[in-house]
Each structure stands twice: as C-alpha cells, then as structure tokens.
Structure 1
Amino acid sequence: MISDKNAQPNISCVIPVYNEGRRALDVINAVLGHDNVDEVIVVNDGSTDNSEFALKEIKGIELISYPQNKGKSHAVMLGFKKAKNNMVLMLDADLTGLDKESITALIKPVLENKADISISLRRNSLLFYRLLGLDFVSGERIFKKDIIEDLDELDKLSGFELESFLNKIIIRKKMRIRVVKWNKVGITRKSDKVGFWRGVAGDFKMAMEIICFLKIIGPVKQIASMISLKV
C-alpha cells in the first residue's frame, strides 16, 4: 500500500489473456484487492483452452470476452476503453512470481509523481536488457491512458507492436521513465508454453514485427532515447 491513499488517483488494471489458464489466475489474484487498484479488467482474447471458463469464476473483475483471437493490441484497446480511470496498469497474463509488493513497487513512482511512466525489468528479461537497465518491450507499465490521443489507433497495430507504439509516444512527449527491477517476477517463455521450436518461431515473429514497425535502426533509437529519459 502507498501512503496517503486518499490523495492518490485510482488505477484501472488491464490484463489481456490468450490461452494462459492457471497463469492468468495467479496474476489476477495478485492484483485483486490491491489498495491502489479499484478496477481489474481482464480481456479474454479468443482463448481456445479453459481460460474463459476459469475467468468467469473469478469475482471482482470486469471480463471482456470474444471468440476470435485478435491480438494483444486489440485486447488492450478494449480494456482501455472500458477503464473508468485515466491511470492504467498493464500486466501480461503469463507472469510468474507476481505479488502485491511487486505491483506497489511498479506503481509507486508514478503515484508519487516521481515519474510519468514506470516500466518493469523482470528477473528473466533478456540479458542485454538487464545490462542496459531497460526492457523496452516490457508489457508491465503504468501511465495515464490519455497520452494516447486516439485509442482506436491501437487496433491498427499487430499484437507485438503495442509497446513500440507506446514508446514512440513516451519519447515524443519526453515522459519521465522509471525502470523498476522485479527480482522475483519473471515471464513464461513461449517455449515453455508451446514447445521449443514453436516458441523460437513465435519469438522470431515478434522480433520481426517490431523491426518492421520501427524499421531496422528503430529499436536502437528507441532504446537510446528511452534511456535518456530515465529518472
């Protein structure tokens, strides 16, 4: 809990889910009941496993569900549109080790006006990102959603372009960035979900979509620009 809660803005948490099953429940349970989060929106992005059934059993969440997988960007767009608060917390559904203390560490710099956005650096982020002190494609972030002038723009992105799109806004607006190291929280690798080779193929697809969105030199420019905005 962050002190002087009454002076803090309320937070809406948006969690996109696609075939995450038990992992999604662990993430949702970690954020439910957090003193600074008064709305948890879970978007079931056309899951084909038992995710929808499991999510319907959880009390205290706003559930958006649809039958066809449309990608993370679409799911987050719907979550942001549903959110009643301007301050939004994005969490991926495949996190491991998430607890309320980790959530507090992420949101605290923004709520205390020491940063405009906080971005997580997970314990198993790529070594390159950990050495840089920034995971520029981390999906765990807190910021005010009105930095996005038109939420419908998110629907034009592929599933893996969302974070890069947000980074462009962060850089253009010169937002103060706080990177929060999550030493206990990791993310489930694609290879652990679908097998080694399918996981490698999925990671390659994600990397190619990011590079195509930013052009070849784009990721380097984004990383350098964002590092310069760290506080």
Structure 2
Amino acid sequence: MTYSPRLSCIIPAYNEAPRIGAVLQTALATALIDEVIVVDDGSTDTTALIADGFAVRHPGLRVLRQPVNGGKTRAVAAGVAAARGEFLLLLDADLAGLAPDHLASLADPVIGGRAGAAISLRRNAPWPWRVIGLDYISGERVLPRALLAAHLDRLDALPRFGLEVFMNRLWIANGLQIAVVPWPGVSSPLKGAKQGLRAGLRADVNMMGDIFRTIRPWEALTQIATLRSRRI
C-alpha cells in the first residue's frame, strides 16, 4: 500500500537566510507534520542552500527552487502542486519564537475535524486584529489541500500577495468553520526591519495594493466580519 501523508507543511521563502533555519527546525520537530516543502522563490542569498543542508539530514524535507522571484502566491502554488498530504500547513519562513506546540495547536482543530480551517494570531499582529481576535491576512494557516489544489490556475493569475484574501474567499464560499489559534510567543519581523525603512514601507504599500487588486476594500470588511462569525 502506498503511504499517503496526512499533513504537508509548505514554506515559501525569499531571502530568509538569517531566519529560515529556526523555522525549519521547528517544522521538522513537529510530530503531526508528515512532509515539509520549502519553495525558494528565486532568493539571491543562501536561503536555498540552508534548506538543502536540512534536506540532506531529513528525508521528509523537499526543496523546490523557483527560477525567478515570482511572489508568495506562485511559490505557494508550486508547493501545493507538489504536496501529497490531505491537509496543508502554510508557514512563513521568517517567524521568531516558533515551537512545535504552536504548529500542533494550529493543525489539531482541522485534522481533528473540529474546524474546516485554522489561522494564527501572532503576538505582533497589527493591534486592530488582536483587538477583534482575527488576523485575516495571516500567513500561517491549515486547510484541506483539495481546496487550493482545485484552483492552481487561478493562484498563478493572482497578484504576488493576493493569496490570503483569496483563501478567505474560498473558505467563506465553502462554509468553513474557522479556528483562530493565538500564538502569543510568536512574532514576524516588520518588513522595515528586514529590508530597511524605505524599502520596507514600499513593500508594505505594494502588499496592500496586491490585496486590493484581489478584493475590493468592502469585501475585506465582509471577509473579516464573516470569518469572525464562523470562529469555533
């Protein structure tokens, strides 16, 4: 009988050499995760080489290399196409303070059938999202693979950072109940801290532009309200 993994972890990464090692250590130490796929999105630093070093020691880790930087959405699409698990855990490559318990707590409601999808709420999520108890553009999510695999062609057509709000649309259309999992010890560095103030501000503006090229502002408000109403 062919082995079919239950949970596949996809980590899109672009120039995350200082941070990806710690994230990989955590993902590989999480018992619920059956395979880890790093998608290097045309990095110009040693991100892919670091991931390759882990792959040598961990047969459950695969490293995919995008020939050019195409953005997070296309990197995740490549990972979804390669994944074999029934469920996906999408994980950013730059998280600090991450532990196996965080990943297990995010995956458990979905694998256990108590929720259709799960989303993290990090310690340094924007304060409005912490106030309302939902980070609707969080990059750390668990969901059925089939839900994204059915839309790979649409993912390739999305803006670089349109993935999260597109997933929200799918979750709502499919009537999924959502588990919001607080991660009080986990943070994601601001773009300004990684890229410098000017480049970081430009990256944030571009990200918001991508979001609102994918959905209209009114739909963002509708997504937030609907997802909050569907929290378990």
Asked whether the two chains share a fold, i.e. TM above 0.5, the reply is: yes
Unaligned runs of 5+ in 2: none
1:111 aligns with 2:146: no
Match of 1:151 in 2: 152
Contact 2:119/2:178 (<8 A) preserved: yes
d(CA) in 2 for partners of 1:56, 1:114: 36
Q: How does 1:65-104 map to 2 (within 5 A)?
A: 65-104=65-104
State percent identity of aligned pairs.
37
Matched with 1:19 is 15
Partner residue, 2:137: 137
1:163 aligns with 2:159: no
- What secondary structure sits across from 2:19 in the alignment? helix
Q: In structure 1, what is the equivalent of residue 217 of structure 2?
A: 216
CA shift, 1:151, in A, is 1.7
Give the alignment's Cα RMSD to 1 decimal.
1.1
Deviant stretches of 4+, over 2 Å? none
Amino acid in structure 1 at the alignment position of 2:31: D
1:115, distance to aligned residue in structure 2 (A): 0.7
Match of 2:35 among 32, 39, 55: 39
Tell me, in whole angstroms, the C-alpha distance in 2 between the residues paired with 1:134 and 1:174.
Answer: 17
- The correspondence of residues 117-128 of structure 1 with structure 2, limited to 5 A, is 117-128=117-128
Alignment partner of 1:97: what SS?
Answer: coil
**Pair 1:53 & 2:49 matched:** yes
Q: Note closer, same or farther for the CA distance 1:46–1:159 as it changes in structure 2 (3 Å cut).
A: same
TM-superposed CA distance for 1:224, in Å, is 0.8
Q: CA offset at residue 145 of structure 1?
A: 1.4
1:3 is aligned to: none
Q: Whole-Å Cα distance in 2 between the matches of residues 213 and 118 of structure 1?
A: 21
Letter of the aligned partner of 1:39 in structure 2?
E
1:62 aligns with 2:62: yes
The answer to whether the 8 Å contact 1:211/1:218 transfers is no
My pick for the range that moved more, 200-209 or 179-188, is 200-209
Could you list the runs of 5+ residues in structure 1 that have no partner in the other structure? 1-8
Normalising to structure 2: TM-score of the pair?
Answer: 0.93
Is contact 1:102-1:182 (8 Å) kept?
A: yes
SS at match of 2:20: helix
TM-score by length of 1: 0.93
Which deviates more from structure 2 when the two are superposed, residues 188-197 or residues 12-21?
188-197
8 Å Cα contact 2:48-2:63 kept in structure 1 = no
Residue equivalent to 2:181: 180
Offset from partner CA, 1:38-68 (integer Å, 9 cap, x none): 1000000000011122221113210001331
